[in-house]
Each structure stands twice: as structure tokens, then as C-alpha cells.
Amino acid sequence: MAEQHVIIGGGPAATNAIETIRQVDGGKSQITLISDEPAHSRMALPYWLAGQIPREHTMTADDAYFAKLKVEARVGVRAQKIDTKGKSVTLSDGKSVKFDNLLIATGSRPAELPVAGADLPGVGPLWTIENTQCVLDAAKENKKPRVLMIGSGFIGFIMLNAMHKRGWQLTVVEMEKHVLPRMLDDQAAAIAETWLRGQGVDLHCGTTVKRITEKGKARVAELADGTSVETDLVIIATGVKPNVELAVESGIDADQNGISVNNRLQTSAPNVYAAGDVAVGPVLHSTERAVHAIQPTAVDHGRIAGSNMAGRQVDYPGSLSMNILDVCGLQNASFGDWSDTSAEAMTISNPGGYIYRNLLWNGDKLSGAVFVGRANDMGMLTDVGMVKGIMQTGTSFGSWKQFLQENPFDIRRPYVALKVAQKLTGATLLGTPSRTRGFQYQNMKSGPAVKASHAVFMETSKG
């Protein structure tokens, strides 16, 4: 009898696990997908919100693709109970499915706002396909709506940037002393806040929303500092919580932070794996375990879990904490232990030029980094990518650390001299070359848009 794999979830961890299983077994096993939402990328929703892509481009699989991969996709139902001993999953439609291997990729959900008025129409999270559609529908009646965002985390600001591209009137309330408190240090955040205000975004930091009331078709948020904000829409972006209930109720080792997994993404229950935002997994170059709720980690988790479910034993080296964000035209990035105040810091700061970088050191190795800069500065300079590669490879600088102290903008030279690129190109996650995703909306062919200035580097020879 064919081996039965069951995957709960429809995000990048789930779809990458499915594709990896099929790359390993060539279609010999049975795969059942259980997801209450269509398979899609949550990180693509802001592009739809901004009007840059249609809704359909947020999808990461469809019925035809699942059929091609021989996957039984049960979309629109929810997993309600896991029996780890009997190896079965009970579904919301009353049916159940048996498994030999199970992947829990249930992701996370928005944290609730415990204030009066949080349940009013026009107030809620911007998290799902349905949420995004509701906001776009509201904007049809008001081409330039006033939007209040409660919270200023990474995910919230991705949506804020999308709304800024629409030209909407934006206000942010953040309970911490500055925006992006889990991504930027004080100096970086100060530059970001100056930029945001220059873009017309109204900021209220160091305060909270006490209640939300109705005023005709508008909403009024009363703040703890005594001010009030009248708005058309209120977006709740006060953080996320991992969906751990299934695991906890089934006796799998998990708590409010996530499901504990080992280096093969296995949970405490035999043949049960977890991946993505819900998994407390290995951290790169560290003995710690953490949830890194970012798409690159979810993709890697899915590929590692899928490989192991299919019988090819692969250890995960760990994820790197990283966030790269466009804040209304100002680029921001942070990597690793960027907030470690005990680390040796190498800082460049020019607030007037919107330039900031802070490199943190553990001996002669980079342990964390924060970057801020305008789009042209950050895009034309590849320092961010090089620092990320240096940290991923755990490269020791040796005497090049002194060089960088004397030449803080010249990361390229040590990057080349220490052969970081060669290390990166020689590294693989699964021990085999990665493959392009098989799904493309309407079988569209993807490829780079070659501009005249880049043609010499990207065009292939003719004849």
C-alpha cells in the first residue's frame, strides 16, 4: 500500500513540502492537503492591495496543479483533531484521513485587539484574501480613504506601504516608543519616522488605543494620550500568534510560542512534522531554537520536512532572522542578532541623508546588522545582500575586520577576498540543485525584465 502523507495548511511551507515529496518519490505516495484557505502566498497580498497584480497572482497552486502532482486537495475544510497514536486527522466536515507522515503547517493568525469597538464594521486585521478584498471594496466608495493602522510591525508595514502606493491617507499608532520595534534600533527607527512624516504619514508612538467608536460612516479611535483620530478604516496589526491548538490538544510538545521541532523538523510525536510560522526550529550558527515567521524560512522548512517525510534524511542548518522592508520608499533591513547591545558595534549614521548601518560583531564574525537607506542607495549598493551572505556562511573576517573599520562602505573587497560567493554557490539545502517552482498562473513564463542598461549582462548570445 502506498505511503500516505497528510499536510495541514496551504502556505509556502505546505506547497514546498508537497513539491519536495514529489521530487523525491516521483508520485509513488499518496498526498492529502487539508487547508481552510486556497493555496496562496500571504506575502503577495500587498502587491494585490497596491494594484500591482491581480488577485489570481497571489495563488501558489490550483486544482490542475494539484492534480498534476497527484494531490488530493481538501480546500475549504479545517483539521479539528489529530490522533497521533491512531495516525488520523479528523476534519470539520466530519470525515477523517489516515496518515503515515503528517506535516503541521498551520501558520499564524492576527492577535486580537482587546478594546471596545474592535468588532465594529470597518475595523479588523488585513491578513487574509477576504480581508484584502474587503479593504479594496471599501476603497471603491472612497478613492482616498483615511486609514488608521494600530501597530507598526513588519507585516503591518508591508500593508502600509501598499496603501501608500495607492495614495491613501495613513495614520499609525504604536505602543512602543518607535516604529518597527522588532526590526530597527532607536537610531534607525528615528530616520524611518522622519521619512514617514515627510511622506505624509501621521505617527503616534508610545501610546495605545483605548476604544473605537462610530461617527456616522467614520470611526474614531481614542488614544491613551488624550488625542483622537477620525478615520474611515482601522487596520489591526498588533502582532500574530502561531496556530498551535491542534498540536497542544494532541499532546505534541508545544506552547504559545510554537511547536518544538528538531533538526529534521520532526515534532515530539513519531512521524509528525511541523514547519513555517508555527515551528520553533533551529537557528543558524546557534544552539537556540526560535520561530522566524518569514517566507524564506517557511520555504526552507517545507523542503526539509518534505524530504524527510519522503525518506531522504536531511538536517536543517537553521534559519537566519532577517527582515527586508520598503517603508514608503525608504529601504530597511535587519539580520541576525541586530538588537544585541552587548555586541561590538560598527556604526555609520547620517540622518540628514537617510543613511544608517550598524554592523554587530562576535569576535571577527558578523552577528547582526541593521541598514536604512533610500531606494537608489540600497538598490544600487549590494552591501545588504553581501552582509546577508556573509552571515549565512558564518564567514570569519580575520584581518579584514580592521579593513572594514577603516573603510566602512567597502564591504565588497572582503566579500570577494573571503570567497563568500563561492561558499554560497556551493551550498545546497537538500544536497541537490534546487528546482524552479512548477506552478505558474495560467502557465505564464516568468523571467527577468531586461532593461537597456542591464542587457549586456543578461542577454544570451545569438547564433
* Residues 336 and 367: beta-carbon distance below 8 Å: yes
**The three grid cell numbers given for residue 366, joined into one nine-digit string:** 558578523
**271 — pLDDT class (breaks 50, 70, 90):** very high
β-strands 71-75, 96-98: how paired?
unpaired
In this structure, whether the domain defined by 123-238 belongs to CATH 3.50.50.60 is answered with yes
Nearest to 276 by CA among 252, 260, 300, 253: 300
In terms of Cβ atoms closer than 10 Å to its own Cβ (0-12, 13-18, 19+), residue 459 is exposed
Nearest to 335 by CA among 412, 41, 343: 343
Instruction: Please name the residues in contact with 91: beta carbons below 8 A apart, sequence gap of 6 or more.
Output: 34, 74, 77, 78, 79, 80, 97
Query: What is the spatial distance between Cα 196 and Cα 179, in angstroms, rounded to a whole number?
Result: 10
Give the single-character DSSP code of 336.
E
β-strands 101-104, 272-274: how paired?
parallel
β-strands 79-83, 71-75: how paired?
unpaired
- Mean pLDDT, the chain, whole residue set: 93
pLDDT of 149 higher than 70: yes
**451 — pLDDT class (breaks 50, 70, 90):** low
Domains 4-109+241-309 and 123-238 share a fold: yes
What pLDDT does residue 381 have? 63
Bridge partners, residue 204, by sequence:
173
pLDDT of 346 higher than 50: yes
* Maximal C-alpha separation, the chain: 72
The architecture (CATH level 2) of 329-425 comes to 2-Layer Sandwich (3.30)
The arithmetic mean of pLDDT across residues 389-396, rounded, is: 97
pLDDT of 61 higher than 60: yes
DSSP 9-75: --SHHHHHHHHHHHHHHTT-SEEEEEESS-SB-GGGHHHHHTTSS-GGGGBS--HHHHHHTTEEEEE
Show me where the domains of the chain are located: 4-109+241-309, 123-238, 329-425
- Run of H or E including 439: none
Nearest to 305 by CA among 83, 1, 9, 92: 9
Query: Which is the CATH superfamily of the domain at 4-109+241-309?
Result: FAD/NAD(P)-binding domain (3.50.50.60)
DSSP 155-200: HHHHHHHHHHHHT-EEEEEESSSSSSTTT--HHHHHHHHHHHHHTT
What pLDDT does residue 462 have? 40
Query: What is the spatial distance between Cα 109 and Cα 239, in angstroms, rounded to a whole number?
Result: 9
pLDDT of 454 higher than 70: no
pLDDT of 246 higher than 90: yes
